[in-house]
Chain A
Amino acid sequence: MRELTYADALREALREEMLRDPRVVLMGEEIGVFEGVYKVTRGLLKEFGPERVRDTPISEAAIAGAAIGAALAGLKPVAEIMYMDFVPICLDQIATQAAKMHFMSGGKLKVPMVLRTQYSLGRAHGSQHSQFFPSWFFQVPGLKVVLPSTPHDAKGLLKAAIRDGNPVVFIESGMLYRTKGPVPEDDYVIPLGQCDVKRKGNDLTVVAVSRLVNEALAAAVKLEQQGLTVEVIDPRTIQPLDLTTILQSVKKTGRLMVASDDVKSGGIGSEIAAAVIEEAFDSLDAPIVRVASPNMPIPFSPALEQAYMPNAERIVEAAKKLIG
């Protein structure tokens, strides 16, 4: 199968959906003429024109507000917020307006929009351009939260998000844009709410999210050399969360680690750990561990940022400690 980068896979998803459905429009900072800071929208302005690919002013609140309005009026906007750090500027629009309209209107209104954004942890962009806080969104009923980890998943999930009919927060990882992987040329859609078991194993379940899926896979290779087989599960969407697949795996391995780039307190790891304890307490053979970022602002210095970030090595260490 041909290989694409994560950025090109996303671009292909956008293009295919725009060809498929004239209601799909793009808006965001520097996505048109400049073709996106990570070139995800390369060529799209030329192909679809400024009506459907709109450069916006530097106002996240305006981007989100316009997207919600467009969605209510019948379009299917895909709005891009360049850095996840700036999503809080439009949090009222997302959490209090977009997420609730369908419910508050008794189902009469729909907000079929996708808010694409990315987190740059690992690129030395500093405390204000690297943050990753998915829990802010999965705590809001009415929002779906998608976190693709591979080019293949990025394309299939973005297409599903665009077709979904509900507001979807689609979080990409800046570190993954240049990673390559096989991507089918056909029109495939990955349903939201399905885990993908990226590697099979019997001794430990690692639920890894976004950037850390590749790190977990690298850790699994190292651990296998030491005689431990690790099952790596990528939830792909954390709202809705496919707990069934995670529970099946934990029932088999008896051990669970959650690896994600968000800070430890109140993060993805906390949520998955709590759900597993509720549902599979009697299957656990060890405490659940979270490999996550420390509860500190992200340092700017590349050396300090490397020390701050979770990685394969830290997953290996935590696994060894867990199994003893």
Chain B
Amino acid sequence: MLNVVMPRLDPAMQSGKIVEWLKREGDRVEKDEPIVRIEGEKTTFEVNSPGVGVLRKLLFEAGADVQVGQALALVGEPNEPLPPETAELETPRLSLAQEAPAVLGATRVQEPPASPVARKMAREAGIDVSKIKGSGPGGRIVREDVQKAIEQTKGRVEPVAVLAQVRTVPVARTIKLSGKRKATAERLSYGFHTAVPVTITMETRTEAVLERRKEHHSKTGKEISVTAYVVKAAAKALEDHPLLNSSLEGEELRVYGDINVAVAINTPDGLVAPVIPKTNMKSVLEISREIRDLTERAMQNKLSVSDLTGGTFTVTNLGGYGVDLFAPVINPPQCAILGYGRTSEKPVVIEKEVRVAAMTTLSLVFDHRIVDGVPAAQFLQRVKELLEDPTKLD
């Protein structure tokens, strides 16, 4: 008998709500066939069957809130006797503190046999060991199998949305906080884990960006969003100012190896911030395309956990709603968020003459525990520079 269990989709998840059962008791199910739809904190997702068989028992009604790791249903042979106390099935013990890998549908019992070193390598490479075919005695997954799997993933382009695969960000370096930084942090925050947000703003001329958008439109007939330019500028500026691409975890500052900018998107169900992985490696055009895709899926509530995790910095925009200047809230555990307001024509003094120019106000809210005002200002200055000369974004 196989247990279908409530998976943990991110380290903080404790329980999930059953939205609906996609199969009924007695239905035949294939391996990896969706059985139940679950609503987590961030997204809804489907849990798949851990194996081939008959869905023997549903252990909860739709609407029930079920703890992570608890069995949701049993899949087995048609005549296999049900365990006497199905409610007390042993569930995998996942401690909350642990960064548990996402467990989809299966308890440890029916995982394929894998050697300790194979498990370790798979864990480190972020590969689901149950997806690997074993070549060792008795089908055991051995080191060589994982090596092959790792090589295969290297050559493959990561699909945009993989259900329930939490994206992990490589840590480029870990800096032990100096006594001074620690003292600053303690002084600045009541609770050590609470950000100390500070806002700085800067006006930027937006004509050049608007000009390039127009050019692109007349050439291709396609729109590039202003957000894409701002996102790209932020990602590029983060390359020069990596401290803003970090999180404070306990007494360690984790400076991330990837720059993954999240974009705040307003949906009927509330605000979401899906992530554009490795933003700095992508062109404005690619970023624009990805934002469009993420927005569409956000509106249909189809964002995966992968889309919503691993962000290292956030860009948000209220310009479309007539807001000129605002101080957004930092998206934890990130260090900073960049907001930008409405682009409007204003009288500005350029070379001692009053002229009319398209102006946008950028606002950077940063966690003062991590960065001080001057480096934050330098970062913002760099964003402004890039937006005023978007050829630098190519």
Residues of B within 8 A of A254 (CB): 115, 117, 142-143
Q: Known contacts A254-B115, A322-B137, A324-B136: does B120 contact A285 (CB below 8 Å)?
A: no
Q: Is the Cβ of A286 less than 8 Å from the Cβ of B142?
A: yes
CA distance A254 to B135 in the complex (A): 15
Residues of A within 8 A of B28 (CB): none
Q: Is the Cβ of A284 less than 8 Å from the Cβ of B117?
A: yes
Count of residues in A whose CB is under 8 Å from the partner chain: 11
Residues of A within 8 A of B135 (CB): 324
In the assembled complex, B382 has its CB within 8 A of some CB on chain A: no
In the assembled complex, A282 has its CB within 8 A of some CB on chain B: yes
| Residues from 290 to 324 in A contacting B, C-beta threshold 8 Å | 321-324
CA distance A285 to B116 in the complex (A): 6
CA distance A291 to B136 in the complex (A): 20
Q: Is the Cβ of A324 less than 8 Å from the Cβ of B118?
A: no
The 8 Å CB contact of B136, one of A281, A282, A283, A286, is A286
Q: Is the Cβ of B117 less than 8 Å from the Cβ of A283?
A: yes
Interface string of B128-144 (1 = CB under 8 A from A): 00000001111010110
Give the residue among B117, B120, B140 with the most A Cβ atoms within 10 A: B117
Nearest-neighbour CB distance to chain B for A66, whole angstroms, equals 51
CA distance A196 to B135 in the complex (A): 33
CA distance A313 to B118 in the complex (A): 29
Interface string of A218-256 (1 = CB under 8 A from B): 000000000000000000000000000000000000100
Residues of A within 8 A of B136 (CB): 285-286, 324
Nearest-neighbour CB distance to chain A for B174, whole angstroms, equals 21
- Given contacts A284-B116, A285-B142, A323-B137, list 19 more A-B pairs with CB under 8 A: A254-B115, A254-B142, A254-B143, A281-B116, A282-B116, A282-B117, A282-B119, A282-B120, A283-B117, A284-B115, A284-B117, A285-B115, A285-B116, A285-B117, A285-B136, A322-B137, A324-B135, A324-B136, A324-B140
CA distance A283 to B116 in the complex (A): 7
CA distance A176 to B137 in the complex (A): 35
Q: Can you name 13 A-B pairs with beta carbons within 8 Å?
A: A282-B116, A282-B120, A284-B116, A284-B117, A285-B136, A285-B142, A285-B143, A286-B115, A286-B136, A322-B137, A323-B137, A324-B135, A324-B140
Interface size bracket, B side: 10 to 19
Residues of B within 8 A of A281 (CB): 116
Q: Can you name the residue of chain B whose Cβ is closest to the Cβ of A321? A: B137
CA distance A323 to B142 in the complex (A): 10
Give the residue among B116, B137, B140, B143 with the most A Cβ atoms within 10 A: B116
Q: Is the interface of B mostly helix, strand, loop or mixed?
A: helix
CA distance A284 to B136 in the complex (A): 13
The 8 Å CB contact of B140, one of A282, A283, A286, is A286
CA distance A301 to B119 in the complex (A): 47
Residues of B within 8 A of A284 (CB): 115-117
Q: Can you name the residue of chain A whose Cβ is closest to the Cβ of B134? A: A324
Nearest-neighbour CB distance to chain A for B107, whole angstroms, equals 21
Q: Can you name the residue of chain A whose Cβ is closest to the Cβ of B118? A: A285
Q: Can you name the residue of chain B whose Cβ is closest to the Cβ of A287? A: B115
CA distance A282 to B122 in the complex (A): 11
Residues of A within 8 A of B116 (CB): 281-285
| Residues from 270 to 285 in A contacting B, C-beta threshold 8 Å | 281-285
Nearest-neighbour CB distance to chain B for A226, whole angstroms, equals 16
Nearest-neighbour CB distance to chain A for B389, whole angstroms, equals 51
Residues of A within 8 A of B118 (CB): 285
CA distance A324 to B119 in the complex (A): 19
Nearest-neighbour CB distance to chain A for B191, whole angstroms, equals 36
Residues of B within 8 A of A285 (CB): 115-118, 136, 142-143
Residues of A within 8 A of B115 (CB): 254, 284-286
Q: Can you name the residue of chain B whose Cβ is closest to the Cβ of A283? A: B117
Nearest-neighbour CB distance to chain B for A249, whole angstroms, equals 14
Residues of A within 8 A of B120 (CB): 282
| Residues from 104 to 123 in B contacting A, C-beta threshold 8 Å | 115-120
Residues of B within 8 A of A282 (CB): 116-117, 119-120
Residues of B within 8 A of A321 (CB): 137
CA distance A200 to B16 in the complex (A): 53
Nearest-neighbour CB distance to chain B for A256, whole angstroms, equals 12
Q: Can you name the residue of chain A whose Cβ is closest to the Cβ of B124? A: A282
CA distance A283 to B117 in the complex (A): 5
CA distance A126 to B5 in the complex (A): 59
Q: Can you name the residue of chain A whose Cβ is closest to the Cβ of B119? A: A282
Q: Can you name the residue of chain B whose Cβ is closest to the Cβ of A324? A: B137
CA distance A285 to B137 in the complex (A): 11
Residues of B within 8 A of A323 (CB): 137
CA distance A29 to B140 in the complex (A): 54
Interface string of A72-113 (1 = CB under 8 A from B): 000000000000000000000000000000000000000000
Residues of A within 8 A of B140 (CB): 286, 324
Ranked 7 nearest A-B pairs via Cβ? A324-B137, A282-B120, A285-B115, A285-B143, A284-B116, A285-B117, A285-B142
CA distance A284 to B121 in the complex (A): 11
CA distance A92 to B119 in the complex (A): 48
CA distance A321 to B136 in the complex (A): 10
CA distance A281 to B120 in the complex (A): 10
Q: Can you name the residue of chain A whose Cβ is closest to the Cβ of B137? A: A324
Residues of A within 8 A of B137 (CB): 286, 321-324
Q: Can you name the residue of chain A whose Cβ is closest to the Cβ of B117? A: A285
CA distance A322 to B140 in the complex (A): 11
Nearest-neighbour CB distance to chain B for A324, whole angstroms, equals 4
Nearest-neighbour CB distance to chain A for B383, whole angstroms, equals 44
Nearest-neighbour CB distance to chain A for B356, whole angstroms, equals 66
Give the residue among A281, A286, A322 with the most B Cβ atoms within 10 A: A286
CA distance A254 to B143 in the complex (A): 8
CA distance A321 to B120 in the complex (A): 23
